[in-house]
């Protein structure tokens, strides 16, 4: 079973920041938080990952709380092409299986 | 584009038949994993191959089997197909080494069992 909890769906206006929350209260000290997204009918796409520090790349920012029990994925300026299902996953390290939950369906509208 | 290619893109099979799905991993990646995604669900882990050996398996019956070749490409074989095997089958490749390496997914093979 997935070790994360995410809202089923969220809406965001185009050009605004999309903040997607994830709860992972049972995360262990050496587990990473990964985010993937899946646009309709495509394979999942890696977005970002982190251990305990906040991370930023060209796609998004990842904010992990100090107790590591929750995190937030931030898409700073959402576009229509960001409409997708977003999955938050915890895993020990690269090379282990990705356990997907149901994810959050983000709908970006103009 | 991730560099992970899967074939075929779509396939229709009859219940009881056998099917082979193929995956070419991204250059430099030695780990391939397979996932099954039923309609409206998240992908479910089937198994993973690292340097031609299976090194992890999800809750799938033995009629789901696989191979990884010396060039790190991979096959997923499903015997005695059932209607519930209808799904999108996804292949992902990764370097499998060290911490933090992400997995790159192909576009998937849509299997329909009738």
Cβ of residue B66 closer than 8 Å to a chain A Cβ: no
Residue A95 has pLDDT above 50, yes or no: yes
Q: Which long-range contacts (C-beta less than 8 Å, at least 24 apart) are formed by A55-64?
A: A60/A35, A62/A33, A62/A35, A64/A33
CA gap B105, B114 in Å, rounded: 27
Closest approach of A30 to chain B, Cα-based (Å): 10
CA gap B33, B62 in Å, rounded: 16
Token pair listed for B71: 């060039």
Query: Residue A93: pLDDT band by 50, 70, 90 thresholds?
Result: confident
- A98 vs B43: CB contact, 8 Å cut-off? yes
Q: Which residues contact B14 (CB under 8 A, 6 or more apart)?
A: B81, B113, B114
Query: Residue A92: pLDDT band by 50, 70, 90 thresholds?
Result: confident
CA distances from A21 to A64, A88, B37, B99, B103 (A): 10, 9, 23, 24, 22
CA atoms within 13 A on the CB side of B63: 10
Token pair listed for B36: 């099954």
- What pLDDT is stored for residue A62 in this prediction? 98
pLDDT digits (tens, 9 = 90+) for A53-63: 899 999 999 99
- A100 vs B103: CB contact, 8 Å cut-off? no
CB A45 within 8 A of CB A39: yes
Omega prior to B8 cis, within 30 of 0: yes
Token pair listed for B8: 């075929």
The DSSP call for residue B17 is: -
Nearest CA among B111, B47, B44, B39 for reference residue B82? B111
pLDDT digits (tens, 9 = 90+) for B91-101: 999 886 544 56
Residue A87 has pLDDT above 60, yes or no: yes
- For B84, phi and psi rounded to 5 degrees? -70, -5
- What pLDDT is stored for residue B58 in this prediction? 94
Token pair listed for A103: 């994810």
Q: Range with the lowest mean pLDDT among A1-5, A70-74, A91-95, B59-63?
A: A91-95
- A44 vs B58: CB contact, 8 Å cut-off? no
CA gap A61, B25 in Å, rounded: 28
- What pLDDT is stored for residue A1 in this prediction? 63
CB-CB neighbours of A47 under 10 Å: 20
pLDDT digits (tens, 9 = 90+) for B21-78: 999 998 888 899 999 999 989 999 999 998 899 989 999 999 999 999 999 999 999 9
Query: Residue A30: pLDDT band by 50, 70, 90 thresholds?
Result: confident
Closest approach of A17 to chain B, Cα-based (Å): 25
CA gap B51, B32 in Å, rounded: 9
CB A58 within 8 A of CB A74: no
Residues constituting chain A: 110
**pLDDT (average), residues A3-30:** 95
**Strand-strand pairing, B5-7 and B10-13:** unpaired
């Amino acid at each position: 079973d997935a070790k994360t909890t995410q809202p089923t769906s969220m809406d965001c206006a185009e050009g605004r920041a999309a903040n997607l929350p994830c709860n992972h209260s049972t995360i262990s000290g050496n587990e990473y938080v990964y985010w993937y997204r899946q646009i309709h009918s495509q394979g999942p796409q890696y977005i970002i990952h982190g251990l305990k520090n906040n991370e930023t790349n060209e796609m998004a920012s990842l904010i992990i709380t100090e107790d590591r029990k929750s995190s937030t994925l931030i898409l700073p300026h959402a576009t229509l092409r960001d409409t997708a299902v977003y999955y938050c996953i915890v895993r020990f390290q690269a090379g282990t299986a990705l356990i997907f939950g149901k994810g959050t369906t983000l709908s970006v509208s103009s | 584009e991730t560099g992970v290619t899967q074939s075929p893109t779509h396939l229709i099979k009859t219940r009881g038949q056998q099917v082979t799905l193929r995956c070419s991993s991204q250059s430099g990646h030695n780990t391939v994993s397979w996932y099954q995604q039923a309609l409206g669900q998240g992908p479910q882990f089937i198994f993973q191959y690292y340097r031609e050996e299976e090194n992890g398996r999800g809750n799938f019956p033995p009629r789901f089997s696989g191979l990884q070749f010396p060039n790190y490409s991979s096959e997923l074989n499903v015997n005695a197909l059932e209607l519930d095997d209808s799904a999108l089958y996804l292949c992902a490749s990764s370097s499998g080494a060290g911490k933090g390496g992400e997995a790159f997914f192909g576009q998937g093979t849509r299997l329909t069992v009738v």
